[in-house]
Amino acid sequence: MKTKNMEISIYRYLKELRSAVPLVQNITNYVVMNNTANALLAVGASPVMVHAKEELNDVVPLASAVVINIGTLSPYWIEGMLQAAELAREHKKPWVLDPVGAGISGLRNQALKRLLHLNPTVIRGNASEILALDNFGRAGGKGVDSTESSDAALNAARELNRRYGSIVCVSGEIDYIVSGDRIARVANGDPLMQKVTGLGCTSSALIGAFIGLGQNAFEEAVSGVAVTSLAGQLAAGKSDGPGTLQLHLYDCLYNLDQETLDTHLKLETDVIAS
């Protein structure tokens, strides 16, 4: 049964985020660290970027949420990621897993299997990454499905949700957010966003900012996805290319208001008959 648009008031979550200024602890990749910190600041959160296992014990308890993005791995960083996820569980902090490049290497797949068993609150990836994650859990894994259709990814998202309890976000032309019998679809964004590195990583970080509010993780995850895709679309509309898009994205996040959300957001939520 389809429920009507705007059931989730994204603006209410955005306003609360700007008021609460959640501290978001990120272990992310070298390529996007600066962008991630700037996107978090622009939306109204406060970023911290500690990766060393030697100091995560002190920092995770201070944070409202934890984001783990495996973009540029090495064994030392993997130790930090696992420790951060364990600390998040122990201190009941919501955490986001961004499985960048899932399926491309054994090191990456092994790290992801261990992180999945720590039950991320949210997993966000593209169709290919979500399919690769789902595949880890199957006996006789058959490799990453090369079709990577939206339908296949959506089934994989549901299966990951059943297996690990995680809310699963699949980024694409339409973004899907899946949890139990609920599904949300965000039809914003712009193809030019794929020409800027790390906008998926930005989406994961902003999901982290919203779930740091701790009210309703599903609606907060939808808010993070919606705000990123809409700001990216608005930024693309003002841009001559990917350089200007990246720049305007921060300004659009910073200036996002209720009127803009009401006018431009294309969000649908459904309850799926199981």
* Interface with a second copy (CB under 8 A): 29-35, 37-38, 41-42, 47-52, 54-55, 57-59, 62, 71-76, 101, 104-108, 194-198, 239-244, 246-255
* Of residues 101 and 224, the one with the C-beta less far from a second copy: 101
Is 96 or 100 the residue whose CB approaches a second copy more closely? 100
Angle, vertex CA 247, rays to CA 203 and CA 169, nearest 5:
10
**Residues sharing a CB contact under 8 Å with residue 170, sequence separation 6 or more, in sequence order:** 124, 125, 126, 127, 130, 150, 153, 154, 157, 176, 178
CB of 157 to a second copy, least distance (A): 24
Cα–Cα dist 253/273, whole Å: 35
| Rounded least distance, CB 15 to a second copy, Å | 17
Q: Which is nearer to a second copy, 157 or 249 (CB)?
A: 249
For a second copy, the closer CB: 59 or 160: 59
Element (H, E) at 267: strand 267-271
Distance of CA 30 to the CA centre of its chain: 17
Residue 150 or 194 having the CB closest to a second copy:
194
Distance CA 33, CA 14 (A): 22
CB of residue 119 to a second copy, shortest distance in Å? 25
Q: To the nearest whole angstrom, how small is the minimum distance from the Cβ of residue 265 to a second copy?
A: 19
The distance from CA 251 to its chain's CA centroid, rounded to whole angstroms, is 20
In DSSP notation, 34-47 reads HHHHHHHHHHT-EE
DSSP label at residue 21 = -
Q: Quick one: which of 176, 181, 55, 170 has its CA closest to 124?
A: 170
The smaller minimum CB distance to a second copy, of residues 121 and 239, is found at 239
Task: Report the residue number, 55 or 181, with the smaller CB distance to a second copy.
Answer: 55
Q: How far is the CB of 11 from a second copy (least distance, A)?
A: 18
Residue 106 CB, shortest distance to a second copy, in Å, is 6
Bridge partners, 269 (sequence order): 3, 184
Q: Are 186 and 267 in contact (CB under 8 A)?
A: yes
Minimum CB separation from a second copy for residue 6, in Å? 25
